[in-house]
Structure 1
Amino acid sequence: MSTSQGSHRAGRRGAGAPALPLHEQPTQAALVLPTAPPPPPPPLAPRPPARPAAPTLPAVAVPPVVPEQGSRAGSRRAARRRKAGGTGGEGLRRLVPQALVVAVLAGGTSAFVADDKAVRLSVDGVPRTFHTFADDVSELLTDEGVTVGDHDIVAPAPGHALTDGDEIAVRYGRPVTLTLDGTRRQVWTTARTVEGALRQLGVRAEGAHLSVSRSAPISRRGLALDVRTERAVTFLADGRERTVRTNAATVREALAEAGITLSGQDTTSVPAGSFPRDGQTVTVLRVTGSRQVREEAIPYAVERVRDPELFAGTEVVERQGVQGVRRVTYSLRSVNGVAQRPRRTGEEIVRAPVSRKVRVGTRPQPPAVTGADGLNWAALAACESGGRPDAVDPSGTYGGLYQFDPATWRSLGGDGVAQDAPAAEQTYRAKKLYVRRGAAPWPHCGRRLHS
């Protein structure tokens, strides 16, 4: 080391730097500035023979080494460096692990690049191309935040393995409330327009009436769609047959399209508000009608009243019955010229009926009259009064079946007059009279008792 270099090094250490060991301290000569120019450099040593080329290794940055001439420490360090440089095997052993790390990293990079795939994903017709590391379709959809349900379509299937260049399509299902020719049902479609849904559902739309436009979009919330397909309907009217093709909602609308008019009481064989079916035949009924009013009798009722004053088996009419009268209105119809059965449309009571009142005897029959039983009392009554218990002669003196006068009737135990008593009681009193006087009280008809 030159004097200037030693001074510079001493300056770098500074006053406060620790003292060097004795074998590393510079000599006195080294500290004296030279008074003469330095000697010329020694001649170059001959170049050693060339060695075989060593294997190429990754470059390693090594800090430059500045030779430290003029000190034993610098000499020793230089010797160590030369020794290390001359032994290539140790340096190679030191660099092999670094080369292995670089190789492993290079292999991982190759695998990383091989797992990357370019795919094309179309969601509801909107495509995009991107790179992914997903292994199958399910993982890809999860990574992309695409959720599918039971009514959605994914092609290829969710478990399908992915390869570079695959195309995946997702089509969302949409609910459609479809009313087809009057029948309503809920269906699902992946079409995005009404026209596409009709094709997908197999609905014949030629000539059909649609409640919304064919080009209308279908959102994921769905829509309500009313479809009336074209149908052939035949009408029989006024002796003619007419067939029309229509998408009408009611028979009445189809009838108007056929040019047939209903008037008055005219009607059709099916309800005019019903849905016309394909191939249906409807008959038009021309109806003419009138009204008729008739008076009809109302039968009277019979009112029977139990009377303990009358002998059993005896009935007395206390009030005669009177028939009532009602006014009934009938509708008379003729359908296509054929008269129909009159139809009752109303009634009005003109006179209410009066019931017949009959008293029915419950009193036990009188005891038998010895000597008078077995005679033909019915024949005697028929001769005297015509068999009428309430009969009275023109003079008003005699009455009843056997034409008792009041005095005789009372003498026999009767009350009032005979014509007011039941027939059985009159016969009983007549028998008692016969026991007393024989047939004399009936000079003209008495012989009938023995007939």
Structure 2
Amino acid sequence: MILPRARVARRLELRDLRCPPHRPLTALRRRTGGTGPAAALPDDASAPDERAASPAPRRRRTAGIAAGVAVAVLAGGSVAVGAAHKTVTLDVDGEISEISTFAGSVDGVLTDEGVDLGQRDTVAPAGTAALTDGAEIVVRHARQVTVTVDGAEADVWTTALSADEALGALSTRGGDVRLVASRSAAGRAEIDLDLDGPVEVAVDGDVHAVTDTSGGVAAVLEGLGITLGELDTVSVRHSETGAVTVVVTRVLVQEVPEVQPIPFESVQQDDAERFVGTTAVVTEGAEGQRTLVHRVTTVDGVETARELVSDTVTAEPVTRVVAVGTKARPVAPKPAPKPAAKRSGGSAPAATSASAGGLNWAALAACESGGRVDAVSSTGKYHGLYQFSVATWNAVGGSGLPSQASAAEQTQRAQMLFDRAGAGQWPHCGPRLFR
């Protein structure tokens, strides 16, 4: 049978086809250490078939056609897999790695890499975005930080990686924005953000420049030898020049005692043994004491709060007691004036009234002269038990100096003087006559 020329040519083409074996799909190593999707890569072609081109049985021609089709299918699959493979850059909170992947979307890469996302975390591009070769994926996990805005404290979420970045983002909230450090069980100050560069440290009135901040806030303070008190606070803010500044605030709370006097009271009580118009201090008054304890809070040496803790009377005051006389004074008839008789020889002075004799003359003498018969004042003007002036002594019939007369005569003439003019002759000591 003679075949058409076109058919003969087709047979010769099929006879020369080669069907080399293909190698298994190889795994691509990923950053996490696992294996990625397999990629079909062709092995080297096998050696050409040396058999002569001769007519073959029909069944062999059929097998050759099938092999050719298989080669075509495998070649098409390699092209499809190669097109799905991509190399992308993944930045997770500043940790950057290059990823080989066959994922078709951003979410696929994150799932393969085991990156978990929270409600407040951010991803760029969006997770549903189609993935292209050379893409850059940025993931920022949100973290909660404590801030004070113009003195008011609040908890906020931020995806910033550094304190400087967070302060810049929060600057619109108020004039004085600070990140507040927490205190660990060991008393170290910690902020869940990097300082990321040189900072200033303001503490105890001084400002220190620190360039190595790799260890965070706690390491910076320890490097300067700064010890934190139990209540001291640490915050991070921007200075007026824009520099990141770590601020140590000294907070002291202590109980401060204060002693205050308690004034004493003064009372009067009637005394029937004393004459009307006379008083005497029976009990001297004395101030008491009270101790107040305040809990005082100071911030960098300035008092910011004061709270009364206790108020205790530590010494009771002593009341001053004054006795007031209620006894009626005796009324003596005023004697008729008599001519003063001069004493001659040993004649005795005139008799005095009985009322004058009942007074406390010893008390008057003790007050006026200390009870000394021959007492003379420092000026030399007053003499004797009752400190007569010479003129007064002569007016009641005395002669010579009173200090030279006997005690009896001095007392007798003092009583005469009382009968004439009363106790007013002794303005300071006169009330003692009535005790």
Q: Same fold (TM over 0.5)?
A: no
Query: Under a length normalisation based on structure 1, what TM-score does the superposition of the two structures give?
Result: 0.33
Task: Point out the structure with max Rg over C-alpha.
Answer: 1
